[in-house]
Structure 1
Amino acid sequence: MARVTIAAIASEAGVSVPTVSRVLNGRADVAPQTRELVEKLLKQHGYRRRASRQQPGRAALVDLVFNDLDSPWAVELIRGVEDVMHTSGVGTVVSAVHRRSAATRQWLQNLYARQSDGVIFVTSDLTTPVYAELQRLNIPVVVVDPAGGAPLDIPVIGATNWAGGLSATQHLASLGHRRIGFIAGPKQLLCSRARLDGYRAGLEHPDESLIRQGDFLYESGYTGGMSLLEMADPPTAVFASSDTMALGVYEAARHKGLRVPDDLSVVGFDDLPEARWASPPLTTVRQPLAEMGALAARTALRLAAGADIEAPRVELATELVVRDSTAAPRPR
């Protein structure tokens, strides 16, 4: 017999998923007849409730799940989540599943064992089976920068990636650059695609030969930078869709005997601390990572308390931060 989800219960009862969640969490703001119907269906389908957050002796926990933890921006996002959780007296469990199905199964088993009160997925592909299992367990879910499309009833937190890509490209164009290279992030991430689309929108005639594929990490920035700089007609500027990749472009420029920004302008994306410490300090698009983490944390806690979320899709504003890595191109 298939395991029933709260979405199925909601559909059969003719109510919303948040209404079923409020019944499960013992909220008072549910009509008596609605509560009675939902309780009847829960019992009829053998729905197993989780232990209550308020159970004496049990600490509240929220899981923060990454595909991997090898990117510096993960630290900024964790900081935002942890600030909110610490203030709220809630513990945070950080894990990485590395897109392995076996790791995901083990994670789900651990999640059930520790009776987590909510899950925040970061740049993760939330598969239908995993989401169905979380629904069955009545565990609320929030997604930050999803890989692929998240279900419509899940809150999604992100940034204005398209606008950020556009502003970075327009900044370089305003300085006089016409051949602007671009190093993209992972294709499966919606934020990567949005930054690439913003880059294209900022150019009168986008040149696809100036686009290289990366993965947000330093090595791909170096490889992509070397590939662009070895072209017969190389770009005079490179926009990398992460700060870490931009620093890889710095190294590629040094390897080719070029100086930033005298010979090559470079722009990143994220505004990590490393951007300020770089030599020269990196012009970049600030992505409010800590704020995104904090908003995801507050949203998860509201859902765990049975509250409704007014805006399921939220994009926080990006901002161009001009430092010393961009300048007008030298005459050729």
Structure 2
Amino acid sequence: MVRAGSASAAAGPTLAVVAREAGVSVPTASKVVNGREDVAPETRRRVTEALDRLGYVRRPRFDPARTPGLVDLVVHSPESSWSGAVLRGVEAAAYEAGLEVVVSAGVTRTRDGRRERGWLDRLAARGSSGVLLDPAELSASQYAWLDHHRIPYVLIDPAQEPPAGVVSVGAANWQGGMSATEHLLGLGHERIAVVAGRRRTLYAGARVAGYRSALASAGVRHRPEYVRHAGFDETIARLRMHELLDLPEPPTAVFVCSDRMALGAYAALAERGLRVPDDMSVVGFDDLPEARWVAPALTTVRQPLAEMAGTALRLLVRMMQGERPEGTRTELSTRLVHRASTAAPPALRPTA
């Protein structure tokens, strides 16, 4: 096997030849090959063009005859229940495919907001044949590194629109937002708020769009003051719930766009001496274990995390074998799981 950053005489030019062709040092050329961030865009372009022009030997494709194959699952927070569900789906599909999985928390950010480096180097050192990324927030240079080394990769629930041609698997977030809101409308609520995730992310925007579509279909007026963003943070969601309660006409129900944020909403309501669902109906999104553990159990929209992960792994195997999926985006359906956190608004409940 020829690894990234090296080449044999028979296979093609060395990295030193590439560096000389691009007019840079060997360490700089190595940085480009290994996906490092600290390279000027123009320098990266020159090195990349030299690599292609000289036919620098890249990583070989996956060899199905080699057992076992190795794939990387790169997650943001390995200890979270979200990542646990994803890992279960990947492990089951990998077992069926005869693959081994390495889990790492690679695509993370430092305190100053910069992406940490090194996971691409570890990927190359392990000789992984493919990568699953969840959630995926890659830089342009990281995408370029994976493409340059011909390492197949699939994004699970990407936060931003992926580059053209990149394969991803996600959930039907718009439909989920609509079903959550329709459930509350069906109970008789009209003053329905939404606590959304991060602005300008695909899934957060789709869930809010589904919420708005359900209101419009029911002829219920959309109130801009009922839309709050909490960045998928439980503590911020608690503050946003307090803001909603402080409105001159507070909502009677709230669609919270993640189960973790719903816990923050529960905390805010408890701090005000309000009860779920007697004083406020709450719907979450994800159907993580926390939704079943909290009291009262949370009505939520289930997105099939394990199934999404398994689908992503199967797509990755096909790509590792040289196939190309027909489409780049696969969406799995969501469904509402009705538990104990929703009820009719107080004004519509029968009196004893």
Pick from 196, 199, 206 the counterpart of residue 222 of structure 2: 206
> Following TM superposition, by how much is the alpha carbon of 1:126 offset from its aligned partner in structure 2, in angstroms?
2.6
Say yes or no: does 1:99 pair with 2:104.
Answer: no
Which residue number corresponds to residue 57 of structure 2? 48
**C-alpha separation between the residues in 2 aligned to 1:330 and 1:210?**
19
Partners of 2:63 and 2:321 within 8 A in 1: no
Note the 1:146-165 alignment, pairs <5 A: 146-165=158-177
Match of 1:312 in 2: 328
Q: Distance in 2 between matches of 1:233 and 1:52?
A: 61
Worse overlay, 298-307 or 64-73 = 64-73
TM-score, normalisation: structure 1: 0.82
The 1:302/1:57 distance shift into structure 2, 3 A limit, reads closer
Number of aligned pairs?
297
Q: Give the Cα–Cα distance (whole angstroms) in 2 for the partners of residues 107 and 181 of structure 1.
A: 40
Change (3 A) 1:235 1:117: same
8 A contact 1:126–1:150 mirrored in 2: no
Q: 1:176 aligns with which of 172, 188, 197?
A: 188
Report if aligned partners of 2:195, 2:227 keep a CA contact under 8 Å in 1: yes
3-state DSSP of counterpart to 2:72: strand
Matches within 5 A, 1:115-264: 115-203=127-215, 204-264=220-280
TM-score, normalized by length of structure 2?
0.77
Q: Does 1:75 align with 2:91?
A: no
Once the 2 structures are TM-superposed, how far is the Cα of residue 140 of structure 1 from its aligned partner? 0.5
SS of 2:124's partner is: helix
* RMSD over equivalenced CA pairs, Å: 2.6
Q: Return the offset for 1:302.
A: 1.1
SS in 2 for 1:202: helix
Name the structure 2 match of 1:60.
69
Match of 1:224, as an amino acid? R
| Structure 1 counterpart of 2:283 | 267
Look up the equivalent residue of 2:272 and give its one-letter code.
Answer: K
Native 8 Å contact 2:153 2:316 kept in 1: yes
**CA offsets 1:133-174 (integer angstroms, 9 cap, x no match):** 111111001111212211221111011100110111111112
Q: CA deviation at 1:263?
A: 0.7
Whole-Å Cα distance in 1 between the matches of residues 285 and 208 of structure 2? 12
Alignment of 1:6-25 (within 5 A): none
Share of identical aligned residues, percent?
46
Query: Which letter does structure 2 place at the counterpart of 1:249?
Result: A
How big is the shift at 1:102?
A: 6.7
**Secondary structure of 1:331's partner?**
helix
CA contact (8 A) 1:145 1:189 kept: no
Cα distance, 1:68 vs structure 2 = 3.8
Against the structure 1 CA distance between its residues 253 and 70, is the aligned structure 2 distance closer, same or farther, given a 3 Å change threshold?
farther
- Matched to 1:146, the amino acid is P
- Once residues 314 and 117 of structure 2 are traced to their aligned partners in structure 1, the CA distance between those partners, rounded to angstroms, is 27
User: For the residues of structure 2 that align with 1:253 and 1:231, how far apart are their CA atoms?
Assistant: 14
User: Residue 340 of structure 2 is aligned with which of 303, 324, 329?
Assistant: 324
Cα distance between partner residues in 2 of 1:54 and 1:124: 26
> Separation in 2 of the partners of 1:171 and 1:87?
38
Show the counterpart of 2:36.
none
CA distance in structure 1 between the partners assigned to 2:173 and 2:231 by the alignment: 16
Query: What is the identity, as a one-letter code, of the residue corresponding to 1:74?
Result: S
AA of the residue aligned to 2:184 = L
Any gaps of 5 or more consecutive residues in structure 2?
1-20, 23-28, 34-50
Q: Is the 8 A contact 2:61 2:150 kept in 1?
A: no
Amino acid aligned to 1:291: E
Distance 2:334 2:66 in 1: 42
CA deviation profile, 1:275-320 (whole Å, cap 9, x unmatched): 1222111111110110000001111111111122123211100001
| Alignment partners' CA distance in 2, 1:136 and 1:77 | 27
Structure-2 separation of matches of 1:133 and 1:248: 39
Partner residue in 2 for 1:296: 312
Structure 1 unaligned blocks of 5 or more:
6-41
Secondary structure, in 3 states, of the residue corresponding to 1:307? Answer: coil
